[in-house]
């Protein structure tokens, strides 16, 4: 059994090994590939190489929004956001001021819909999340309109060579009822994205009076986006 495993991990056919390195998916790919390349008899060399690679990764700025290097025909991203509702704040959803007796307590304008749309686009591109690119510890984002964040996410999307295929968003709140405002919110979202209305869908649900969402103490949103490589 040990010999079988060894032959799988370290091919004796050197011509086959040179054809294509084996990559593990996810965050272990760089470390695993380096260990594979080192072989069973080069543990000290592998350790040094892995340490050097790890140091190089840690030295990179955590909030750098680099463009993805691998061009996939499609990319899917999911975004989620939740904010506490408190009296004395405006309730901004999708860039629209919604009349209500309370609003989102947040560093920026607390637009839960735009925040999760931004995270969905950034996630699809494999970039850091909204909190890393626009940290709430930076005074310049205090009270900022979330449309600023969305415009930057859209810019990064186009810079990476992608366009919006479609977007599906769900708002979760007990009050107020969003039926009278849903089309206004969707129209503004389409304008910010530069998207055709047929590509943007918006739903709203209550939380059946369960937990903070159902007790009108918070609001949440989910968004899924499909990005397509530009032709």
Residue 64 belongs to some domain of the structure: no
One domain, residues 49 and 91: no
One domain, residues 49 and 92: no
One domain, residues 12 and 94: no
One domain, residues 196 and 93: yes
One domain, residues 39 and 130: no
pLDDT at site 45: 41
- Which of 63-72, 143-152, 214-223 is the least confident region? 63-72
154-162: average pLDDT: 95
What CATH number is associated with residue 214? Answer: 3.30.1330.50
One domain, residues 134 and 167: yes
Q: What is the total count of domains within the chain?
A: 2
One domain, residues 51 and 149: no
pLDDT at site 150: 95
One domain, residues 78 and 18: no
One domain, residues 48 and 85: no
pLDDT tens digits for range 173-214 = 999 999 999 999 999 999 999 999 999 999 999 999 899 998
pLDDT at site 68: 52
One domain, residues 208 and 130: yes
Helix axes 43-59, 29-38, angle to 10 degrees: 160
Residue 86 DSSP class: E
Choice between 58 and 71, residue whose per-residue pLDDT is larger: 71
Answer whether residue 30 shows pLDDT above 60: no
Domain that holds residue 218: 74-229
Residue 65 belongs to some domain of the structure: no
pLDDT tens digits for range 108-143 = 788 999 999 999 999 999 999 888 888 878 877 787
Q: Report pTM.
A: 0.69
Residue 67 belongs to some domain of the structure: no
Q: Beta 96-98 vs 91-93: how paired, if at all? A: antiparallel
Give the residue ranges of DSSP H helices in 60-198: 112-125, 130-133, 146-159, 182-193
pLDDT tens digits for range 63-102 = 444 555 567 899 999 999 999 999 999 999 999 999 999 9
Confidence of residue 218 (pLDDT cuts 50, 70, 90): very high
One domain, residues 111 and 166: yes
One domain, residues 197 and 103: yes
Q: Beta 162-172 vs 200-205: how paired, if at all? A: parallel
pLDDT at site 36: 38
């Amino acid at each position: 059994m040990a010999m079988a495993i060894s032959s799988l991990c370290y091919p004796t056919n050197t011509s086959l090994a040179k054809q294509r390195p084996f990559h593990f998916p996810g965050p272990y790919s760089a470390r695993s590939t380096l260990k594979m390349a080192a072989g069973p008899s080069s543990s000290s060399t592998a350790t040094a190489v892995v340490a050097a690679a790890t140091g190089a990764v840690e030295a990179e700025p955590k909030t750098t929004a680099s463009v993805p290097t691998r061009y996939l025909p499609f990319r899917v991203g999911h975004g989620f956001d939740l904010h506490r509702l408190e009296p004395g704040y405006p309730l901004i959803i999708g860039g629209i001021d919604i009349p209500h007796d309370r609003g989102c307590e947040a560093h920026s304008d607390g637009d839960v819909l735009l925040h999760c749309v931004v995270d969905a686009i950034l996630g699809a591109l494999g970039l850091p999340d909204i909190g890393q690119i626009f940290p709430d510890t930076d005074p310049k984002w205090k009270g900022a309109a979330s449309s600023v964040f969305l415009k930057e996410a859209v810019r990064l999307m186009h810079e990476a060579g992608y366009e919006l295929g479609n977007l599906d968003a769900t708002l979760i709140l007990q009050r107020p009822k969003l039926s009278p405002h849903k089309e206004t919110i969707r129209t503004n979202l389409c304008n910010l994205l530069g998207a055709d209305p047929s590509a943007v869908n918006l739903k709203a649900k209550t939380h059946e009076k369960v937990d903070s969402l159902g007790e009108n103490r918070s609001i949440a949103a989910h968004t899924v986006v499909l990005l397509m490589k530009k032709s």
